[in-house]
Structure 1
Amino acid sequence: MTPTDYAFIQRYLKDKSGLILGEDKRYLVEARLGPVARTANLSLSQLIQTLAAGRDPALDQTVVEAMTINESYFFRDKTPFDHFTEAMLPELMAARRLERRLRIWCAACSTGQEPYSLAMLLTERAAQLAGWRVEIVATDIATSIIDRAKAGVFSQFDVQRGLPIKYLMTHFTQEEDKWRINAPIRNMVQFRPLNLLRDFTPLGQFDIVFCRNVLIYFDEAAKRDILTRIGRQTQADGFFVMGAAETTVGLSSAFAPHPQRRGLFQRASAAPAPSVAPAPAFRQIAAVG
């Protein structure tokens, strides 16, 4: 790959997906786009020329998906899920005890392990959430990845990474050498394709937003823009979760660190989080699929 071709790919990926490639990532481009070029019966140089011509939207999507990192596993990093059950849910259930509705967004959801992990945790609280309307919206730029997430089929390797055996036995069905997550959990999650660089106001307002380990690949201007727009769509007392190595500090005034929970952020307009009692139980839980 020539320096000119690589410079084009750097600009192209930044514009299409926000992904920033350093000068040391040329090998990654060659490794991931080489198979795409061969499938299209093109050389890598010809593939880049085709992209530059801008006449093949399907090829654009294929290239972006090939370069998008899709690493995910169940209950990844554990701490955010502890925050979810020990802080976010109790506080929001107390605050929403009259309207009895919660909306959760998992941005850059990859193959679905994060939203499915949240859904499994919610089912354990069905008694407290009876009568509530709980929505989990999960988005990713890659349509092929969204299709895989919707199917809810995982390999033995996938289910061995972070998934407690009790959840495997309760919420999955083995199909030959694969495991399919059962319909009640699948139906709790709405999967949609979405590019974070584009308008996402149609998604509406959320009480909790997970956006982990994706903004680290964006430049500072894109991070600021996305965080500002996520802030507008997070309720005034809502929560925001980033990856372990990420922070909103210095990038956005929309969120502030939670006073008792390291790595958890809350809308800056929200008061310091108090200790609260669990919300009362209702008769029926409604989960949107």
Structure 2
Amino acid sequence: MDTPHDPLAGLRPAADSRDPRASALLRSFSPGMPLQDRPVLLGLPYDGGIPSRPGARFGPKALREALGAYGTFDGQRELGEVVDMGDLTLASMNGARTHARIEEASRNLFTAGARPIFIGGDHGLTGSLIRGLAAARPSLRLALVTIDAHLDVREYDNESSLSSGTPFRRALETPILSGARTAMLGIRYLANSRYYVSWAREQGIHLYTVEDIAERGAVAVTREALSRIMKDADALYLSVDIDAADAAVAPGVSAVGVGGLSSREMIDVVRTVSAEPRLLGADLMELSPPHDENARTARLTARLLLEILSARG
């Protein structure tokens, strides 16, 4: 892992020692540090798969800084420490090399027994993260929850043509995942074509729209999704594209859109998924700070990270 700079530099310390900030939970990785069953943060500062609205490569830095807006007490207990691996060095790499490097990093973390949370970054990288998990645990029966406005199951020609629209097509090509163990929440139909909606349904993917969540409630929909995909699963992976949130609460994303989830709905879905004890890893993707307003999107993303950590105890 590359840590070319201290990822904690510049984070705002607490002004009151009796009111610690969540940024204090981060502990920089050092060689020999045990990772087994520990939450581990790894930044993926790459947005090469988002040619029309770049900026997500700055997401990991903005998320870490936004942790300073929150405390460490979740209402019941103090949150535990997180091992921060820093950011992978990716800026000078082409797409195929970037994805290969990220797959390797994912494989290494899962092989070490870590419970990683990846922060990006281009959502297209999630396909490589799950491929890395498949390399580390080839006999795993994985379930997947995505929180995303988009299906992200576009066809692609080769590793050089990967984009933010292809990650779950690639993930479903691995032997550890199936459509029947995949649930996609927050889907907006006007953001997805008939062709790809039909393809997703043919794979057995469970689709839940923004309207489903608005009408039935985020917790109820998420629990139903989990009950369907976890029946024969050994482990669960959560992938969050912040563009699932409405533009009013999350303008700083790669694919901004209206009619999305509220911040409360985003929190409730992430909290409910994270309470599943078989959760093995997660990612938070497409925070794009150059397009943010008053760090609203960064703060929402940081809050979702803390929800994952809180549920893990």
| TM beyond 0.5 | no
> TM-score, normalised to structure 1's length?
0.38
Asked which structure has the greater CA Rg, the reply is: 1
